[in-house]
Structure 1
């Protein structure tokens, strides 16, 4: 077998193992459950509200949007956080010392972060459907479209999480450079209310980023055609959704490899010691 493919396969197996260990951790599993229940609570209070210009309940519009947002949060924040933590504790340097070790390392991270994101999305969907049972009538085509959109969303955002994790100086910086911008973009992307309620120039900014298109794409997959009245232009835009997400994916896959290679070359014992020293100063 090709040695690179062999190492990549080992990396996928390691990522699966890391994912299973995470599931057994009470803190991480509890956090995911609390996160899902908090969104379910939001849907509970929205269940009787109706989106203006449609017969759709606000909760039925928000739930698909949250699924799209969860992909961005899970892949970008998860990728950046995992990489920055393991740069600081020396895990990445140990992987670098093994032949083709970086390939296996990144295969493991992609696997574990992807599985974590899938679990988080599944929990939010499962708890959300309790208060939005009308989405259970979605046909097979709609669920397949949802899986396709979320998968493309992972490709569009995971490489950028790796880029952030490669350039930041600490895990705290990784959190700040992902969560804060994601929160700001989410606020203008029509996730928790129709984007058409915002000014035109704000709508234009939102359409540059994957958060809006993931929300739009998930709504297109799960909602009836009549719900498009609350969308920009009053219609669904699945082709534009796929095009924008694919563009972000291609750009990320072009940018991430050279950034990751540069970061890996710079990893050394002295660099880890310097980061640990800065971490101790923050604690002190």
Structure 2
């Protein structure tokens, strides 16, 4: 419990700091602004003459995609903290590693929720045809929370696997590729069959499907695979990703923390200075 309390306090401080400096503020607002621009150009376009607007389909999907991007944020921050010695300093204090991990989850999840609000509030006035009822908003919240539980451990696994911030490009490229084929900006049914199969192995697709089922009217289900929201399958797939991540991530993170030492941090810092030089 002490580790949880320390971690919560640490996470709140990190989250507050992210809204008090220019670089992090740009990060919080840049992606939502870009998504709003995309929605602006999609808002009046129809999908295949169905009368269903692409902007209406895209907004819930973008919310799910933003939640899934937490895995990239988690991975990047873990790797950066390993490289600059933050994790090593946490290791040297009582409950330090446990509190560090709890704090990282709090700060990353809190930042994602703030980014979703920054996007969602103006987008509600930009896009028509969404369903806003207490039940739909509750369903949206449930899907997003389940999505965070499913994707943040994946980010922790990726963060423990890559030794340097420079290698994080290897994480972003496949994630961006999965976003491109996961029905976020265009319905999955419009893509080739083999692409549809590959996309459905990704939590990004199921997050987008879950958010669409929460906010879109029932008539729009005709553009989905199998013309069904597949709510049960969404919960099962995201739940499976969450279970696998929660089982593997703590093992890898403990192993990563044990391997941290002053000499390993010094070597990584020297390599970083050589790249800068």
Q: TM-score range by the shorter chain?
A: over 0.9
- 8 Å CA contact retained: 1:52, 1:230: no
Following the alignment from structure 1 to structure 2, what is the Cα–Cα distance between the partners of residues 133 and 13? 40
| Matching residue of 1:71 | 67
- Tell me the equivalent position of 1:279: 272
Q: Which whole-Å CA distance do the structure 2 matches of 1:200 and 1:30 have between them?
A: 38
| Counterpart residue number, 1:20 | 16
Contact 1:7 1:103 in 2 (8 A): yes
| CA shift for structure 1 position 277 | 1.2
Give the number of aligned pairs: 277
Query: Contact (CA 8 Å) 1:213, 1:245: kept in 2 or not?
Result: yes
1:113 to 104, 108, 114: 108
Give, in angstroms, the shift of residue 223 of structure 1. 0.2
* Residue 81 (structure 1) aligned to one of 76, 83, 95: 76
Residues of 2 paired with 1:208 and 1:222: CA distance?
Answer: 23
Deviation at 1:30, TM superposition (A): 2.5
1:163 aligns with 2:164: no
Which residue of 191, 215, 240 corresponds with 2:233? 240
Q: Which residue of 1 aligns with 2:262?
A: 269
Does the 8 A contact of 2:129 with 2:216 survive in 1? no
Please state how far the C-alpha of 1:133 moved relative to its aligned partner.
Answer: 4.0
Which residue pairs with 2:222 in the alignment?
229
Give the aligned CA root-mean-square deviation in angstroms: 1.2
Output the CA distance in 1 between the equivalents of 2:143 and 2:49. 26
Structure 1 portions without partners, runs of 5+: none
Contact 2:55-2:127 within 8 A present in 1 as well: yes
Is this contact kept in 2: 1:54–1:227, CA < 8 A?
A: no
Normalised to the residue count of structure 2, the TM-score between the two structures is 0.97
- The 2-side partners of 1:31 and 1:261 are apart by 29
The partner residue of 1:95 within 69, 77, 90 is: 90
Supply the distance in 1 between the matched residues of 2:43 and 2:125 (Cα, whole angstroms). 11
How far the C-alpha of 1:123 sits from its partner, in A, is: 1.1
TM-score by length of 1: 0.95
> What is the CA distance between 1:7 and its match in structure 2?
2.0
For residue 19 of structure 2, give the secondary structure of its aligned residue in structure 1.
helix
For 2:183 and 2:129, the matched residues in 1 are separated by 21
Deviates more, 1:55-64 or 1:265-274: 55-64
2:127 to 122, 132, 141: 132
SS of equivalent residue, structure 2 residue 129: helix
Contact 1:76 1:178 in 2 (8 A): no
Could you tell me how far 1:34 is from its partner in structure 2? 2.5
CA distance in 2, matches of 1:236, 1:167: 35
Contact 2:42/2:53 (CA < 8 Å) preserved in 1?
yes
Q: Distance in 1 between matches of 2:162 and 2:42?
A: 38
Cα contact 1:65–1:214 (8 A) shared by 2? yes
